[in-house]
Structure 1
């Protein structure tokens, strides 16, 4: 990691302390089986077709060190965003994630799914096992979220009220089923879903803000949005800034750690630079996620106080 990123890391704890928070809740972090993560990193290193640009990994560490880095930042709760790219992976990933959550109490038990026979069964099993958040990657999985094989999956998740972080925007590269249309059709059938639109729906920000206004269960995460890296190719429309305040209770901080090409502090600095105020920042960086996931309103501070 570059020296500038290490220097930025020192600013993270100061950020949340100055807001009077006990720490951060990061709803979009990636922990997965080591051989799977190695393949993900290799794909980024090669700037594969779904990335299509240089993408250095800033936090390329072993699992134990990545956990230590997050905890050192003062991240009090985080996720293990797993996702399959083909049939036959999801149930295995869910088994790994359940074990990871059992040995990592500050990680929200994460699960995933894919449109395939048996998806209803293993989704129900994940819910019974205590899954608190699901990940759906429409871009990488190249599937329609409205696939009939997922009807029961969405119904079970909606009934449980369990949030789903869904990468459905067309960034960084469009997929066959990305964009607001498939999600709008899904919500028309399952309006009670608690969807967290990853990356603020980048680059279709306006359309996904529209969906959040229409459906009270729709949230958005800030993952990579507003950063210099993303603004260079998919800038957030300045005219939409006022809507960030209006939807401030349904915007959640996400980082994409460890798979980010810049220091963690930058993702926080750009949120502060939006000029939405300290109350908005407190909600985005901690309180909104604490409410959504049923976390204590004020978790113990990272420094023990």
Structure 2
């Protein structure tokens, strides 16, 4: 969700395979019910499968799943270990994909992000060379303010056929209003390519996070197809207000309606937003970097007091339409 993985690379400790020895309850982030944590190992027969059938949801589309080169992913896990944030899917890339399919998450994005120059294009190449090995993956790339950013972003769209991009304002220390990215944003706005942006202040604020930076950005690019990660937590109300002003702004539910309170402790007041804006909200998980099974956020959405149609839209239909999938 947030680590600057390069900051935690230790050449003298190159064994990244060890499991965090601390129990989940010791995380610096609190749990809704510390005496009853959600499972952290996949069920043989996931509980949510029956509810998907009940609500006529053929499968889940996860708008917020992460894929990095293996070394970088292990460095990210090293950061999470330092804050006792357990990784439930600390396993090989192949097994992670199998876990998604086992939970009927048949389509999912390949999000990553760069924290320095000369990194984004290489991450994009990694996704391009590997995504076809990940059954159901929706190829997403990233970009960074640097020379050549427009050219390699165009390459990702026109040659690699990427379906979207991810930016992380906290990790990348990225000011969306930098003029170095203006041409790239104008290009993506014209092409109507989705961008998932972690712009909110949860779980920790960054130098350029928050509505103060995002509002002038979206006013400059009012037709940009933006999905605000984590519903903009901790400023969910302020980001939700933008939905009535900018027709292409959307939200994802990543880590909001779960028992792990990294995005806030009182989310009950936001449930009504899922119904009111059900056409503009997408299910996201943050897989694999979550301290519970992926079935937990799915079950939470399915159990909320919102209409069956809202559940279908959030978990499946909205993403189906966004990417023009026909199945």
TM-score normalised by length of structure 2: 0.84
Find the residue that maps to 1:4 and give its secondary structure: coil
Corresponding position: 1:193 with 2:224: yes
Corresponding position: 1:242 with 2:306: no
Change (3 A) 1:237 1:115: farther
Shift in Å at residue 105 of structure 1? 4.9
Paired with 2:66 and 2:263, the residues of 1 have a C-alpha distance of 24
Of Structure 1 and Structure 2, the greater helix share is in 1
Q: Is there any run of 5+ residues in structure 2 with no aligned partner, and where? A: 1-18, 25-37
Change (3 A) 1:236 1:4: closer
Counterpart among 219, 225, 237 of residue 206 in structure 1: 237
Corresponding position: 1:290 with 2:320: yes
Corresponding position: 1:10 with 2:41: no
Change (3 A) 1:7 1:27: closer
Corresponding position: 1:37 with 2:73: yes
Shift in Å at residue 7 of structure 1? 5.7
Corresponding position: 1:137 with 2:168: yes
Paired with 2:118 and 2:265, the residues of 1 have a C-alpha distance of 33
C-alpha offsets along residues 14-65 of structure 1, whole Å, 9 cap, x if unaligned? 2322211211100100111001101111111112xxxxxx310011110000
Corresponding position: 1:230 with 2:284: no
Find the residue that maps to 2:170 and give its secondary structure: helix
Q: Paired residue for 2:34?
A: none
Contact 1:203 1:235 in 2 (8 A): no
Q: Paired residue for 2:9?
A: none
Contact 1:12 1:264 in 2 (8 A): no
Shift in Å at residue 72 of structure 1? 1.1
Contact 1:80 1:110 in 2 (8 A): yes
Shift in Å at residue 232 of structure 1? 8.1
Paired with 2:264 and 2:213, the residues of 1 have a C-alpha distance of 23
Corresponding position: 1:78 with 2:108: yes
Find the residue that maps to 2:234 and give its secondary structure: coil
Paired with 1:104 and 1:81, the residues of 2 have a C-alpha distance of 13
Contact 2:185 2:221 in 1 (8 A): yes
Find the residue that maps to 2:305 and give its secondary structure: coil
Counterpart among 44, 50, 55 of residue 19 in structure 1: 55
Find the residue that maps to 1:28 and give its secondary structure: coil
Paired with 1:34 and 1:86, the residues of 2 have a C-alpha distance of 18
Kindly report which structure 2 residues correspond to 1:88-107, keeping only aligned pairs within 5 A, or say none: 88-107=118-137
Paired with 2:242 and 2:266, the residues of 1 have a C-alpha distance of 19
Paired with 1:267 and 1:140, the residues of 2 have a C-alpha distance of 24
Counterpart among 234, 257, 278 of residue 308 in structure 2: 278
* Matched pairs, number: 290
Change (3 A) 1:234 1:281: same
What is the aligned-residue RMSD (CA, Å)? Answer: 1.8
Q: Paired residue for 2:11?
A: none
